[in-house]
Amino acid sequence: MTNTVTNQSQADTHRAAFGRLLSGMGVTETHGLELLRLVKMCNGAYDTILSEQMRHESVSSPQWRLLSRLLIAEQSGESSLTPTELARSQQLSKNTISAHLRHLEEHRLIERTIDPDDLRAFRIQLSEEGRRLMHESLPVHIRFLNRLADSLTAEEIEQTEVLLGKLHCSLLEWTENNAKVKSA
């Protein structure tokens, strides 16, 4: 706990110094920067915690998310996805997706088939072993993720979900509008 207090104190000192610097440059409103900082800090903390939690498992956290995405696709009536679809949904490069897919295929958790509509492309789906792993591990992982938010009340969790959802929609809208301006 002392380490956390020290880190928070240092962060407050740095934030105040940065605030003075920006103020000297005429920038007084920094909510966009603060939201980005907090989201990135939460993302980093989640990544660190999940990496440690899954350290002894056969798949990494990003690979587990790929398996989850394939399970969701399967449950939604999509029998398989392309590596490009997986890369987009996980916001990972094609090279990174390829490495993860190779690992998952070597562990017989996924199956790769040639796309009948494009013989140059592959379709990825869960294998029986991958499906079994997800059905066993999904409840455990969800309970663990829920415990990470134990310090929040049910109302605070709902409020956070709503606000992050609105922020995400705002970011998507900005991206779409910016893409339209570039193409015009």
Tens digit of each residue's pLDDT (9 = 90 or more) over 21-79: 888 899 888 889 889 999 999 999 999 999 898 888 889 999 999 999 999 999 999 98
Q: Which is more confidently placed, 65 or 12?
A: 65
* pLDDT > 60? residue 1: no
The reported pLDDT for the residue numbered 184 is 64
Contacts 24+ apart (CB under 8 A), 90-93: 90/62, 90/65, 90/66, 92/62
> Mean pLDDT, to the nearest integer, of 151-167?
96
CATH code assigned to 56-148: 1.10.10.10
Give 21: exposed, middle or buried? Use CB within 10 Å, 0-12, 13-18, 19+. Answer: exposed
pLDDT value of residue 154: 96
Report the pLDDT value the prediction gives residue 2, as an integer from 0 to 100.
60
Strands of the chain (E only): list them. Answer: 110-115, 118-126
pLDDT tens figures, 77-97: 998 999 999 999 999 998 999
Per residue in 103-153, pLDDT tens? 999 999 999 999 888 888 899 999 999 999 999 999 999 999 999 999 999
Q: What is the pLDDT of residue 29?
A: 87
Q: Return the pLDDT at 173.
A: 92
- Selection from 58, 40, 44, 54 nearest residue 110 by Cα: 58
Answer whether 99's CB lies under 8 Å from 76's CB: no
The residue among 60, 50, 126 whose CA lies nearest residue 92 is 60
**pLDDT band, very low/low/confident/very high, at 5 (cuts 50, 70, 90):** low
CB 59 within 8 A of CB 84: no
